[in-house]
Amino acid sequence: MTADPHGQAGPAAAGPALQVDAFLLARPVPDRSHGAALRAAVGHAVAAERAGFDGVWLAEHHFSGYGTCPSAVALAGHLLGRTSRLRVGTAAAILPNRHPVALAEEAALLDAVSSGRFDLGVARGGPWVDLEVFGTGLDRYRHDGFTAALDLLLAGLSGAGTLIGDDDRFPFREVAMVPAVERRMPVWVAATAAPTVELAAARGLPLLLGMHDDDIAKAAMLHRYAATGTAAAPHASTHLAFVADTVTEAETVLRDAMPGWLATAGASVRLDGSAAQRRDLDAYLEHLLAIHPVGPPSRCVARLHAALAATGVRRLLLMVEGGRDPGRTRDNIERLGREVLPELRRLH
């Protein structure tokens, strides 16, 4: 599929069906409790299924005002019970914070009870205080520690039936995997840097690409992935998505609602002694507004179409909570489902 310089769609190329999912951070609700924010996120997921989204992905944050969900796996379990068709994934469970075998068991459980509607995505996270609180330490964040944990997780989900620790980091005798894995479950890897891309590529794992990079940067990451010689994987790309009648209306809402929220993302305590990144939040927000589907439905369709053409991905994660008010988020989900998704699917 191609797009001409004027943003018009060309003929659709044959390939896997396009999937469009909602991405939820369970962002805090002003003047309301964390519980209210979590209940709002549950409502958003139910609304996404009703609006025709294919799935919902859940972010995970600890000790941060950026998101109120400390366990994407636990919330995924709840949403799998509240929905009947929707795929539910973690974007992403922070692997260095937990034992990979425990995460494999939980993933196998959710896969079984949902008849295969669960998608496990994992991330390396950062050198944050989480590692101190949960007792895993900086070694699990560093590349070798993350690699060891990822390989043990993959072994647990391979369907082999038994598992044995074979590394100094995870010394344990052979155990049975219960529940037994009924299918070879895919594991998605959130990637923002070349070493993680190459790690995932070496194992044939699909990438979860964040909303910070533009289409050119994402395409470069996928080119690096392909350069390893690994067969193409069904990668996913995340985008801030907000529908309004005009560009001005959409940007006004987001400029009012997002800067204070974005500021909380860099507030985590670091254990490695490095300084927190000081980002110009206004400039960062303008960057997001310039590259993502924000504005009238036709503009949202054109920008998502261009992203698909540039990257070749077949799965989109739309971050729908840009507005401050949960009611506005619900309206955004409904408009995306009604005015954007059908036309995007027609083109693809």
List, as one string, the DSSP characters of 237-285: EEEE-EE-SSHHHHHHHHHHHSHHHHHGGG-SPBSSSPPPP---HHHHH
pLDDT value at residue 230: 76
**Cα separation, 183 vs 59, whole angstroms:** 25
**Cα separation, 190 vs 123, whole angstroms:** 5
Runs of H (alpha helix) within the chain: 34-51, 72-82, 100-113, 130-133, 138-141, 143-156, 194-202, 215-227, 247-257, 259-263, 281-291, 297-311, 326-335, 341-347
C-alpha neighbours within 13 Å on the C-beta side of residue 175 = 16
Over its length of 348 residues, how does the chain's per-residue pLDDT go in tens digits?
A: 333 333 333 334 446 899 999 999 999 988 899 999 999 999 999 999 999 999 999 999 999 889 999 999 999 999 999 999 999 999 999 999 999 999 999 999 999 999 999 999 999 999 999 999 999 999 999 999 999 999 999 999 999 999 999 878 999 999 999 999 988 888 999 999 999 999 999 999 999 999 999 999 999 999 999 998 877 779 999 999 999 999 999 999 999 999 989 988 867 788 987 776 677 889 999 999 999 999 999 999 999 999 999 999 999 999 999 998 999 999 999 999 999 999 999 999
**Cα separation, 303 vs 300, whole angstroms:** 5
pLDDT value at residue 272: 84
DSSP track, 21-51? EEEE--PPPTTS-HHHHHHHHHHHHHHHHHH
**Cα separation, 234 vs 69, whole angstroms:** 26
- 138 contact partners, CB below 8 Å, separation of at least 6: 127, 131, 271, 272
Q: How far is CA 234 from the centre of its chain?
A: 14
**Cα separation, 12 vs 278, whole angstroms:** 42
pLDDT value at residue 11: 36
Domains assigned to the chain: 19-347 (3.20.20.30)
Burial of 8 (0-12, 13-18, 19+ CB in 10 A): exposed
pLDDT value at residue 182: 87
CB 218 within 8 A of CB 315: no
**Cα separation, 207 vs 221, whole angstroms:** 10
Query: What is residue 114's DSSP assignment?
Result: T
End-to-end CA distance of the chain: 7
pLDDT value at residue 5: 33
